A and B are shown apart, each in its own frame.
Chain A
Amino acid sequence: MSTLPPPPGCNVELTERVLVSFLREETHRIGMTRAVLGLSGGIDSALVIELAVRALGPENVLAVAMPYRESHPDSLRLARKSAKHTGVELEVVDISAMADGYLQDNPDLEDKSQEAVRLRRGNVFSRMRMTILYDRSAKLGGLVFGTSNKTELMLGYGTQYGDMASGINPIGDLYKSQVVALSRHLGVPNEIIDRPPSADLWAGQTDEDELGFTYDSIDSLLFRLIDRRESRATLIEQGFQADFIDTISRRVRMNQYKRRPPLIAKVAARTVNLDYRYARDWGT
């Protein structure tokens, strides 16, 4: 698939302006001044912290690194590097004890050779990290900033109520390729940008291995499929394999549930979010 059209870029100055204003205004309008975010050592959270300090100032941002004893040591090292680069205080909360407390009581979560077990363990870690971030949010009066990008959201490549949970998310409408472009513009350390993307939920995991395709090819396809509404026939003409298009399209559809709040059984005249419809920014 070397002849595919390129993944989407963006006007980085313009995007920076919109996203920084977004973070500042959507935080301040609810009477908050601070932000909390999880710093994984990866590019997405490194980008969000760059945006956060520009919006609120480094003194109003708390970064939390939450390693598990099996996490790659580079993850914490690069999280520190990212915090240092932005002048933000980094709190390290080791989740090994709390995670092991649960895992040890559930022997069926021991066998990491099974894919389903690896996935369950990964979800446990992800939701424990969410619990810590939301507790820090309450403690500090800071809003949790999300770090899921558009590629992950479309593919459902994230843990519902785990890393997908946040108060507001500045990068959820940027594909990975745009995250990379904006990160370079904002001076995210190259070591973080060039590191193979990984959820680091188990040793040796990389996103692209797990997804089965490169981010560039996925972003190129998603951008044309979703943003430009190009037809399957047009996509094939541009060099996309039919089974690649179909696999990704199916994955997007299968994960729609992760992008929406839970379904509510309708029985009344007005039902939350169905026909009781108000903006979240109502009254501000």
Chain B
Amino acid sequence: MDCRVALCQMRPKLGVIDSNLETHHQWLDRAIEAGAQIAVFPELSLTGYFLRDLTQDIAMTLDDPRIDALVQRSKDCSVVFGFVEESRDHRFYNSVIFAEDGKILQVHRKVHLPDYGIFEEGRYFASGDDFEPVESKHGRFGLMICEDAWHVTSGWLHFLNGVDAMLMPVASPARGIDTDEPELSSQKSWRSLTGAQALLFQTWVLRCNRVGFEDGTMFWGGSAFISPFGKAVVEAHGQEEELLIHNIDSESLKRARIQTPLLRDERPHMVRSHLARFLDDPDAERGIQAQDNSPSS
């Protein structure tokens, strides 16, 4: 896996798909011009985030010509973009598509839907139930959408699958302006989280957040390439639209995994036997249910 990736830190219009589609084409032109082989867009990049009842109004099925328009662009550059997916049985998912060579390689449906604080995703979306890696011609990738990244199991499953990079389309709202902190508290949390994931799971982590406001809430941008050593090697510092380009390479992965062979030394069988006992114990399972509260994203 050695490839050049573009993170498209853009500002979608809320509920205006045609305009956002045009914007995607423009960003893809720029990404291709910069030599990118993969372009990643933020969560719900074709629709905007605080959709509420727009969720059902602007949902698309996978055969929608507007989706196909972007899938066709993947002949020039693989593309990861977000939208509301309507299944044939009329469930609605917060999904991203990984498209390559004019085909959909994978649809990842967001598994962990935040439904607390300012988030209402549980009200509108059905949950996905899988973290299959994408087998791209450029490498093996793990897709996680925003809140997915806050659950350690998402990254751990991708880790066991030996992904080269985790691609994270995100729509993270700005909040927290404490006196003694140089950055927003949501920004600080995300930087810690994704840095730790890169270190623990020894992959590249590519965080692509959006910018702009919706109903007074700002999305803080700060998209980044984080190396398998946990270092943000390229990072957008502003809250403005920005195209970030960087090469991600196998050699860094190899060096990180030689230096500290965490994947080699992982013990998934031990986890399986422990988990089986744990899930078979009704009291323990109730413990999980009671504590199944997600952290802020």
Residues of A whose CB lies within 8 Å of any CB of B are 8-11, 14-15, 17-18, 21-22, 25-26, 29, 168, 181, 276-284
Contacts and interface: CB of A to CB of B under 8 A. Distances in A.
Contact of B182 (A11, A279, A283): A11
B181 interface: yes
B218 interface: yes
Given A14-B184, A17-B239, A21-B239, A281 B178 contact: no
A185 to B, nearest CB: 12
B218 A282 contact: no
A276 B216 contact: no
Contacts of A283: 13-16
A276 B57 CA distance: 12
Interface in B1-57: 13-16, 50-54
Given A14-B183, A284-B13, A21 B177 contact: no
A181 B180 CA distance: 13
B54 A282 contact: yes
Nearest to B49: A279
A10 B52 CA distance: 31
Contacts, number: 63
Give the 8 A-B residue pairs with the shortest CB-CB distance, closest first: A9-B179, A277-B52, A10-B177, A279-B215, A279-B50, A25-B213, A277-B53, A15-B177
Contact of A279 (B14, B179, B212, B239): B14
B35 to A, nearest CB: 31
Given A10-B178, A11-B182, A282-B15, A18 B50 contact: no
Nearest to A24: B213
Interface of B: 13-16, 50-54, 174, 177-184, 212-216, 218, 239
Given A10-B179, A21-B239, A281 B52 contact: no
Contacts of B178: 10-11
A42 to B, nearest CB: 23
Contacts of A17: 239
Given A10-B179, A15-B177, A279 B52 contact: yes
Contacts of A280: 215
A178 B125 CA distance: 37
A50 to B, nearest CB: 17
B216 A18 contact: no
A281 B216 CA distance: 9
A69 B120 CA distance: 50
Interface of B is mostly: loop
Contacts of B174: 18
B213 A26 contact: yes
A25 B13 contact: no
Nearest to B239: A21
28 contacts: A8-B179, A10-B178, A11-B177, A11-B178, A11-B180, A11-B181, A14-B183, A14-B184, A18-B218, A18-B239, A21-B218, A22-B216, A22-B218, A25-B212, A26-B213, A277-B53, A278-B52, A279-B14, A279-B50, A279-B51, A279-B52, A279-B54, A281-B14, A281-B214, A281-B215, A282-B54, A283-B16, A284-B14
Q: Which of B177, B183, B213 has the most CB of A within 10 A?
A: B177
Contacts of B218: 18, 21-22
Contacts of A282: 14-15, 54
Contacts of B50: 279, 281
A21 B14 contact: no
Given A276-B53, A283-B13, A284-B14, A168 B177 contact: no
Contacts of B181: 11
Nearest to A173: B216
Contacts of B182: 11, 14
A10 B178 CA distance: 5
A17 B174 CA distance: 12
Contacts of A18: 174, 177, 218, 239
B20 to A, nearest CB: 12
Nearest to A270: B53
